[in-house]
């Protein structure tokens, strides 16, 4: 293991941990601007997390150890996931033990722990949220796997850094299959991160909420970890999207180590644009009824499968 | 896809878009949008025909591209929109299958037609032979659209989209049909839409609805049921 690998790995983890709440803050700010409201500060998510860490935790009576364990598990899963996504460089030692399919598994682990913890307390809202989360999850996961399979087929590997390197270095061309899967991925991203067509991230009060219903019983440091993990999840999804669909500018295996420094501002630029686009999508679209969510995700799956079929048939 | 020329890449993109539009038609509930999707499919077909004509330097393909533009992008959607306004049918009834189920069947159909087209593609010598599978899939998906819809209007749109698929199949297998055949088919489609338009009025006169479901029971059956 060469030092450049360790440096890349550490840098990516630090950037992910530090930038994830900032990314959420940026999306909230863009959304406020688009809705003609005065925007909250970019640093609001950090302040929220700091405030929560200073409070005393309240745990519901009858909570099992699983309830206390879940925030740490979810947070750890997201940090490991951040470590295996090539957001800045592809020389990542961690990726030798976990490929893209393992990444989907990590995200699923986090989801299962979150849902179990929400059901653990036994409140109506928690159980309801857990069921909905699993409903969204079991439909979104195959779509995400299909998206990854298309990229894997094109580059003949399931290791994420190799996929990114292959996609970044191949000749430019029109890839209908990648265009279809990009649409599918965007839909999965919206559904999995509790964004507007499927869930409303700005509400704590609706009967239709999914993500917030899972966190209702958490407080203090547990809630802080859960919220940080949610921000990390969004950041991870954005980085998976960059790795698959706009891989240019990532420091690849053959390039000089200095390119790692250049990839940081590029990542920031990509995130800024992605955040603005996400805010725009959330502003112009209305929330779907919960029963329409399967249809939304079936469409995402369809797009991914069409991408796969088009690639197999046309080789494009 | 290094080494593939830009026009072939564009043709592949057109093929992929045709497939996508077929799926969009399958899931669309509003008839107005269905007609717009049909016009869009015609437009993609027009671009594909132009590209093939430019690739192969065949003069008659420009003519058939013009025919596609005039007939399938402008005239037929205009006629259909006028019919929709006259008949006041804007929504299809809930289709016979739910959308997700239809989509899954659609994916299976695409896989089936790719398998079906494999031997044909192996025999064809055109550069666009890979797209034959997509053309077959578009034809079969239009069949599916016609099967799961209740309203006569959407069935006609399915019929027209099927013709688009056939046209694209001929284009990618042999660079287009002979001009006489193409003119014949175009005329057939035009006459079919005109005749079906008259049919719609007759159907509505008889049943006060365009739901083809009413056509299924025979007159004696209906009379007998009324007598019971």
Residues B5-33 have a mean pLDDT of 85
Q: What pLDDT shows up at residue A74?
A: 92
Q: How confident is the model at residue B163 (pLDDT cuts 50, 70, 90)?
A: confident
Average per-residue pLDDT for chain A = 85
Domain segments of chain B as ranges: 6-227
Note the pLDDT of residue A42: 85
Q: Do residue B107 and residue A305 have CB atoms under 8 angstroms apart?
A: yes
- Domain of residue A83: give its range: 3-19+60-314
How close A163 comes to chain B (CA, Å)?
Answer: 15
Query: Nearest C-alpha of chain B: how many angstroms from A138?
Result: 15
Judged by a CB distance cut-off of 8 A, whether residue A292 touches chain B is no
Return the pLDDT at A244. 86
pLDDT digits (tens, 9 = 90+) for A181-224: 998 999 999 888 888 777 777 776 667 778 878 888 888 888 99
Is A202 at the interface with chain B, CB within 8 A? no
Distances (CA, A) of A115 to A67, A70, A213, A224, B213: 10, 9, 10, 17, 46
Q: What is the ipTM of this complex?
A: 0.73
| Per-residue pLDDT, A233 | 92
Instruction: Tell me if B143 sits within 8 A of B102, measured CB to CB.
Output: no
Tell me whether residue A28 is in a domain: no
Position B222 pLDDT exceeds 70: no
Chain B residues within an 8 Å CB radius of A294: 100
Q: How close does chain A come to B117, measured CA to CA in Å? A: 10
Q: Three-class SS string for chain A?
A: CCHHHHHHHHHHHHHHHHHHHHHHHHHHHHHHHHCCCCCCCCCHHHHHHHHHHCCCCCCCCCCCHHHHHHHHHHHHHHHHHHHHCCCCECCCHHHHCCCHHHHHHHHHHHHHHHHHHHHHHCCHHHHHHHHHHHHHHHHHHHHHHHHHHHHHHHHCCCCHHHHHHHHHHCCCCCCHHHHHHHHHHHHHHHHHCCCCCCCCCCCCCCCCCCHHHHHCCCCHHHHHHHHHHHHHHHHHHHHHHHHHHCCCCCECCCCCCCHHHHHHHHHHHHHHHHHHHHHHHHHHCCCCCHHHHHHHHHHHHHHHHHHHHHHHHHCC
Distance, CA of B106 to CA of B96 (rounded, Å): 14
The answer to whether B27 faces chain A, any CB pair under 8 Å, is yes
Q: Does A138 touch chain B (CB under 8 A)?
A: no
Residue A38 lies in a domain: no
CB contact under 8 A, B9 and A171: no
Are the beta carbons of A306 and B20 separated by less than 8 Å? yes
A115 at B interface, C-beta within 8 A: no
User: What pLDDT, in 10s, does the model give residues B169-199?
Assistant: 888 877 777 777 777 777 788 788 777 777 7
Count of A–B CB contacts within 8 Å?
Answer: 70
With an 8 Å Cβ cutoff, are B9 and A315 in contact? no
Asked if B158 is an interface residue toward chain A (Cβ–Cβ < 8 A), one would say: no
d(CA B154, CA B92): 7
**Number of domains chain A is built from:** 1
A316 touches chain B (CB under 8 A): yes
A25 occurs within a structural domain: no
**B111 or A91: which carries more pLDDT confidence?**
B111
Yes or no, beta carbons of A306 and B110 under 8 Å apart: yes
Do B1 and A305 lie within an 8 Å CB cutoff? no
Q: Which residues in chain A have their CB less than 8 angstroms from residue B13's CB?
A: 174, 176, 316
Residue B15 DSSP SS3: helix
Stretch (H or E) spanning B86 = helix B76-87
The distance of A159 to chain B (nearest Cα, Å) reads 21
Give contacts of A173 with chain B, Cβ < 8 Å.
1-2, 4, 9
Q: Looking at the complex, does the CB of residue A171 fall below 8 Å from at least one CB of chain B?
A: yes
Q: Which of A181, A292, A302 to mutate to test the interface with B (most CBs of B within 10 A)?
A: A302
Quote the pTM value.
0.83
Percent of chain A with pLDDT over 70: 98
Q: What is residue A1's predicted lDDT score, i.e. its pLDDT?
A: 56
Q: How confident is the model at residue B3 (pLDDT cuts 50, 70, 90)?
A: low
Low-confidence residues in chain A, pLDDT < 70: 1, 204-206, 316
């Amino acid at each position: 293991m060469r030092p450049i690998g360790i440096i890349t790995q550490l840098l990516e983890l630090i950037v992910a941990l530090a930038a994830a709440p900032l990314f959420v803050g940026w999306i909230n700010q863009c959304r406020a601007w688009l809705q003609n409201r005065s925007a909250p500060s970019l640093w609001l998510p950090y302040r929220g997390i700091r405030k929560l860490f200073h409070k005393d935790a309240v745990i519901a009576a009858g909570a099992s150890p699983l309830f206390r364990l879940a925030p740490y598990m979810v947070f750890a899963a997201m940090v490991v996931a951040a470590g295996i996504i090539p957001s800045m460089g592809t020389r990542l030692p961690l990726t030798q033990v976990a490929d893209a399919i393992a990444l989907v598994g990590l995200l699923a682990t986090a989801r299962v722990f979150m849902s179990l913890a929400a059901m653990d307390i036994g409140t109506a809202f928690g159980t309801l949220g857990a069921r909905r989360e699993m409903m969204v999850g079991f439909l979104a996961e195959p779509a995400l796997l299909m998206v990854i399979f298309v990229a894997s087929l094109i580059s003949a590997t399931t290791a994420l850094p190799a996929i990114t390197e292959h996609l970044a270095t191949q000749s430019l061309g029109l890839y209908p299959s990648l265009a279809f899967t990009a649409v599918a991925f965007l839909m999965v991203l919206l559904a999995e991160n509790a964004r507007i067509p499927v869930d409303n991230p700005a509400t704590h009060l609706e009967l239709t909420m999914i993500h917030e219903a899972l966190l209702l019983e958490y407080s203090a440091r547990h809630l802080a970890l859960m919220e940080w993990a949610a921000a990390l999840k969004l950041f991870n999804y954005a980085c998976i999207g960059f790795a698959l669909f706009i891989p240019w500018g990532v420091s690849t295996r053959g390039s000089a180590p200095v390119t790692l420094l250049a990839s940081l501002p590029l990542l920031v630029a990509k995130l800024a644009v992605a955040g603005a686009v996400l805010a725009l999508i959330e502003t112009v679209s209305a929330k779907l009824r919960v029963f329409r969510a399967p249809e939304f995700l079936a469409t995402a799956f369809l797009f991914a499968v069409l991408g796969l079929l088009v690639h197999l048939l046309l080789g494009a | 896809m290094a080494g593939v020329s830009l026009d072939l890449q564009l043709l592949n993109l057109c093929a992929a878009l045709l497939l996508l539009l077929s799926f969009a038609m399958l899931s669309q509930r509003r008839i107005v949008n269905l007609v717009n999707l049909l016009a869009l499919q015609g437009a993609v077909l027009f671009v594909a025909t132009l590209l093939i004509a430019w690739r192969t330097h065949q003069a008659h393909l420009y003519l058939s591209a013009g025919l596609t533009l005039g007939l399938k992008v402008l005239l037929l959607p205009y006629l259909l929109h006028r019919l929709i306004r006259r008949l006041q049918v804007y929504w299809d009834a809930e289709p016979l299958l739910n959308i997700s189920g239809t989509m899954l069947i659609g994916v299976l159909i695409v896989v089936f037609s790719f398998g079906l087209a494999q031997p044909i593609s192996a025999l064809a010598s055109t550069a666009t032979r890979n797209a034959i599978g997509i053309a077959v899939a578009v034809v079969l998906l239009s069949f599916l659209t016609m099967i799961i819809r209740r309203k006569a209007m959407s069935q006609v749109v399915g019929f027209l989209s099927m013709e688009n698929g056939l046209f694209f199949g001929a284009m990618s297998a042999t660079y287009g049909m002979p001009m006489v055949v193409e003119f014949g088919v175009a005329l057939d489609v035009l006459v079919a839409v005109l005749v079906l338009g008259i049919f719609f009025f007759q159907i509505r006169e008889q049943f006060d609805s365009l739901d083809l479901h009413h056509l299924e029971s025979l007159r004696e059956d209906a009379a007998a049921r009324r007598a019971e």
